[in-house]
């Protein structure tokens, strides 16, 4: 199971690599084009609609949003290609097609059941006698994916598709068919069987997911109404749901509906935590923002600005010396994204699947942050996340009297120290395979191929496999070259591979050869296929 989790974590690395820059684009663009922020600080002449900066920042926000809005698709393709042992290209294409089919199948069944954008709107449920909270919860079950009306299953849907397609690819990539159907044999059978299976799975989801979604919402509602202890569990629960992107199905209920509280501001009854904060922000008579309204998001400032960057430093310090240069860029960019914008996925996915214990501790510490800041009456607002940008705009510039922001600064260093020493100690004591650790250093980004290949001669590898004419197929999984040869007797023995050719081991069976090369396997495969 541990090895499979490592492979799953590796499969996330390609989509994760784009998340830091996408997070910065989204965070900076969204923060500085937020209408309330522009109006509050009278920046319309510089950042208002029609200005050059507005167009640039809006484009940045749109680009970042496009990436995060399609995480489910990116993970579906990433998991499928990462876990496929053979025919990774076919796996990736099949995953993309299957993801569309998955949600199309869901949408079709929803239509048969009478659910559509009109019959799942808040207004419709209100007309059916539901109260405002019930209507919001029911409407929030449904949404769009790639423009398809479907259920809000988020990244979990992408994970389901990716895992199924990877399994089907590994099982059917060499499928034999009758002569009359030979065109559909082998790799061509993978997208066919994937679409068929995913269609069935998609048809089942509408009968199951709404109940799961509503159950999560009801569970979260209880946490939001039980003081600091409940807020601890709310913060913890939201961080756990973040793994699958399901927090997006919950927090809007607290930010924008009466589930997040009601308060009269400037003579109007405002509902929802974030709505209350921005209404108070626009009211010059307000002398203290409501911590009851901000308790559903203020707690994230400590882990996002201080905790996770410190965790990144711990992972860097715990990496093997030879890999620090490789993982340094990845961890620094992910830490910077978290600090600047409060977007945490880039850094969390670097350790989530290879060291889930660390993620569990992170979730506990985030829950504590929510509880402590709520108990201290801290009320710093947010646009959509909790980085230094929002902290400056809605904490520092508002003054401590209004926000009690000083507690975030006071507790920031202790939070960073707790994260750093907890992560560093557990990584080293338990030998957790975080980025850059271990012989294979599975969860690191690759360096340049010439650096990886400096001790290995491609022509000598080919000769050890019996020469070009002996090669039938050359592929690689995460750590191994996987070669099919014509004559297994022509393949060199273990001694040559482990001494001169720097391999860690070799296995032979039938016409198949597996040579263990760690992270270099994929690069070697590509180089061999270029010259064979």
The catalytic residue positions are 477
Please identify which residue in the block is written with the tokens 């019959």: 119
- Evaluate whether 525 touches 452 at the Cβ level (below 8 Å): no
For residue 215, the tally of other CB atoms under 10 A from its CB is 10
Residues 6+ apart with CB under 8 A from 335: 308, 309, 312, 313, 347
**CA dist., res. 208 & res. 113, Å (int):** 13
Pairing of strands 142-145, 148-151: antiparallel
Residue 455: which of 499, 406, 401 has the closest Cα?
A: 499
**CA dist., res. 142 & res. 206, Å (int):** 10
Helix H or strand E encompassing 149: strand 148-151
- Can you give the three-state secondary structure of 152-188, one letter per residue? CCHHHHHHHHHHHHHHHHHHHCCCCCCHHHHHHCHHH
Residues 6+ apart with CB under 8 A from 232: 367, 368, 370, 371
Question: What's the CA dihedral at 147, 150, 154, 159 to 10 degrees?
Answer: -100
**CA dist., res. 248 & res. 256, Å (int):** 12
The number of residues making up the chain comes to 532
Instruction: DSSP letter for 129, please.
Output: T
């Amino acid at each position: 199971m541990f090895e499979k989790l490592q492979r799953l974590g590796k499969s996330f690395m390609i989509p994760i690599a784009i998340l830091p820059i996408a997070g910065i684009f989204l965070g900076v663009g969204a923060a500085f084009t937020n209408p309330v922020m522009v109006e509050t600080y009278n920046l319309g002449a510089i950042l208002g609609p029609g200005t050059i900066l507005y167009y640039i920042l809006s484009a940045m926000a749109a680009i970042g949003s496009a990436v995060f809005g399609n995480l489910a698709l990116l993970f579906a393709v990433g998991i499928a290609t990462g876990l496929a042992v053979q025919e990774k290209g076919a796996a990736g294409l099949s995953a993309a097609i299957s993801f569309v089919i998955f949600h199309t199948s869901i949408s079709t069944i929803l239509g048969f059941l009478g659910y559509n954008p009109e019959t799942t709107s808040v207004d419709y449920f209100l007309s059916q006698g539901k109260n405002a909270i019930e209507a919001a919860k029911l409407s929030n079950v449904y949404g769009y994916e790639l423009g398809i009306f479907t259920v809000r299953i988020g990244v979990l849907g992408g994970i389901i598709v990716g895992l199924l397609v990877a399994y089907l690819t590994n099982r059917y990539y060499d499928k034999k068919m009758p002569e009359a159907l030979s065109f559909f044999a082998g790799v061509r059978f993978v997208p066919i069987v994937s679409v068929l299976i995913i269609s069935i799975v998609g048809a089942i989801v509408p009968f199951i997911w709404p109940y799961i979604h509503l159950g999560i919402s009801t569970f979260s509602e209880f946490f939001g109404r039980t003081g600091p202890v409940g807020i601890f569990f709310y913060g913890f629960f939201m961080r756990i749901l973040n793994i699958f992107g399901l927090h997006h199905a919950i927090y809007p209920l607290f930010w924008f509906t009466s589930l997040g509280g009601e308060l009269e501001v400037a003579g109007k009854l405002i509902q929802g935590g974030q709505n209350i904060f921005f209404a108070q922000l626009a009211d010059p008579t307000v002398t203290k923002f409501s911590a009851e309204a901000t308790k559903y998001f203020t707690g994230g400032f400590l882990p996002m600005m201080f905790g996770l960057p410190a965790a990144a430093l711990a992972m860097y310090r715990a990496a093997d010396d030879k890999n620090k240069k490789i993982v340094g860029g990845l961890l620094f960019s992910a830490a910077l994204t978290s600090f600047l914008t409060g977007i945490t996925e880039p850094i969390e996915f670097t350790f989530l699947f290879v060291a889930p214990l660390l993620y569990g501790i992170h979730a506990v510490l985030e829950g504590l942050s929510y509880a402590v800041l709520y108990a201290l009456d801290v009320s710093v607002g947010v646009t959509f996340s909790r980085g230094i940008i929002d902290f400056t705009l809605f904490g520092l510039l508002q003054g401590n009297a209004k926000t009690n922001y000083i507690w975030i600064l006071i507790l920031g260093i202790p939070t960073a120290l707790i994260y750093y020493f907890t992560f560093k100690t557990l990584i080293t004591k338990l030998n957790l395979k975080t980025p850059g650790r271990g012989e294979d250093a599975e969860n690191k980004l690759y360096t340049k191929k010439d650096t990886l290949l400096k001790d290995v001669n491609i022509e000598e590898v080919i000769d050890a496999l019996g020469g070009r004419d002996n090669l039938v197929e050359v592929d690689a999984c995460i750590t191994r070259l996987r070669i099919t040869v014509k004559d297994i007797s022509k393949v060199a023995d273990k001694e040559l591979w482990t001494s001169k050719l720097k391999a860690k081991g070799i296995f032979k069976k039938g016409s198949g050869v597996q040579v263990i090369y760690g992270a270099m396997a994929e690069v070697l495969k590509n180089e061999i296929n270029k010259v064979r």
